[in-house]
Amino acid sequence: MKKRIGIVGSGTAGLQLAYALKDDFEVIMVCHRTPEQLRSGRIMSTQVHFGPTRAREERFHMPKWESNSLIESIHITVGDQKLFAGMLEKTGLSVDQRLAYSRYAEDLERAGVSFQQRKVEKEDIEELRDEFDLVIDCTGKNGPLVPFPIEKELTPFQNPQRKSIVGYFKGVKPISPLGVNVTVIPELGEMFEIPSETEYGPVTILFITAVPEGPLDMFKGIKTPEAFTIKMREAVEMFFPHIHERIVDLEFALCDENGFLQIAITPEVRIPYLNKNGRLYLGCGDSVILNDPITGQGSNLSSYCAEKLSDLLIEHKHADNWDEEMGRLYWERIKPFVKEVTEWTNAMIQPLPGHIVQMLLSAAEDQQKADKIARWFENPSTAHEAFLTKV
């Protein structure tokens, strides 16, 4: 008989796990939102999936996207100086999670995966565990439901280091070559301009990561789409003139009334397994590895961890019992990469080190160096090496 796995949360981690595990196990997804609620709800992220994540989606036969918004490059501007556009090795893609998650959930249901619609509370988790051979907590940044222990070595901050301010806009002429346009304003924060696909067609995401209480942290108290749009135009005009000149006045608007978001994340890494009362719980995705969005790695890392976890569970599918050893093996497999991504992300939150500024400046004169920097985002181990290896 197939083992029963309950996955709580149908986001990047939970959905990829379901695709990867569904043929070897009985998979039950538990999520508090229906596909329709997801589709019509608030945006959740900016979600650039780089080449390795897209390759995993292909490996697990997840539905493909037709898109004219493929991300080929990373543009870097520091202050008001445009430095370069580096080319990625493989194209990336950002699909609004509202659209992606609802489509995947419907597709999985058609493929025989069961869905239970309910919000699981922390106190319900043990009861839920009774129904399954394993529960995987994929509840994202609102989680975890299971008290996985904090990994102190990788959790240096007690407070958010950036305010994330995101709007999905129509009416911004795309940059060429199409890609993520990163502007760093030393001491104030950053802007990420990202082409993306939505239910409403292609949009340009304007994503500000503001140092709290600084001049870019200017969206406090803004609650309506109208006020958000006015404030974003003001911020772009004031701090990002190279984007402002591509705004088409009469077309500049959010793609829908839920196309904006403000959130501040306190980064936190947890050891993603727990043996409670002799029973194993695992965590995957933001519920256990929550980094600041500044390096755009959260979905990519969730997908990486989900792949390692599904491979491990399938390798051990005939074991009599899954115990703490399984959790330990899972953590051992993902920890080196989790550490690299987390340390790089935490370094990006700090003022850029002198040797990185030198690297960026010299890449302005050398396309190969520019391409190498762009590829930090698709292969963050190389970014970690550049930032943290002592020279």
The CB density around residue 42, as the number of other CB atoms within 10 Å, is 12
Q: Is residue 196 involved in binding ligand FAD (CB under 6 A)?
A: no
CA distances from 39 to 77, 101, 168 (A): 34, 8, 15
CA distances from 60 to 20, 116, 307, 312, 315 (A): 6, 22, 9, 15, 16
x/- site string to ligand FAD, residues 314 to 333, per CB under 6 A? --------------------
Cis bond leading into 177, ω under 30°? yes
Smallest distance, Å, CB 230 to ligand FAD?
20
User: DSSP labels for 1-66?
Assistant: -PPEEEEE--SHHHHHHHHHHTTTSEEEEEESS-HHHHHTS------EE-HHHHHHHHHTTPPP--
In this structure, are residues 67 and 93 in contact, taking their beta carbons and an 8 Å threshold?
yes
**Number of residues binding to ligand FAD, judged by CB under 6 A:** 37
Smallest distance, Å, CB 143 to ligand FAD?
6
Measuring CA to CA, which residue among 182, 186, 193, 244 is closest to residue 215? 186
Smallest distance, Å, CB 328 to ligand FAD?
21
> Which residues are within 8 A (CB) of 32 and not within 5 positions of it... i.e. 6 or more apart?
117, 118, 119, 120
Q: Is residue 142 involved in binding ligand FAD (CB under 6 A)?
A: yes
- Residue of 6, 35, 140, 327 interacting with ligand FAD (CB under 6 A): 140
Identity of the residue, 159 or 389, whose beta carbon is nearer to ligand FAD in the bound complex:
159
Query: 3-state DSSP call for residue 364?
Result: coil
Identity of the residue, 229 or 299, whose beta carbon is nearer to ligand FAD in the bound complex:
299
In this structure, are residues 330 and 312 in contact, taking their beta carbons and an 8 Å threshold?
yes
**122 sits in which H/E element:** none
Smallest distance, Å, CB 73 to ligand FAD?
15
Q: Segment contacting ligand FAD (CB under 6 A): 57-65, 246-254, 282-290, 323-331?
A: 282-290
- Residue of 296, 313, 327, 338 interacting with ligand FAD (CB under 6 A): 296
Q: Is residue 86 involved in binding ligand FAD (CB under 6 A)?
A: no
> Which residues from 26-55 bind ligand FAD, rule CB under 6 A?
30-33, 45-48
x/- site string to ligand FAD, residues 5 to 24, per CB under 6 A? ---xxxxxxx----------
Q: Is residue 119 involved in binding ligand FAD (CB under 6 A)?
A: yes
| Positions that interact with ligand FAD (CB under 6 A) | 8-14, 30-33, 45-48, 119-120, 138-143, 145, 164, 166, 263, 285-287, 293, 296-300, 302
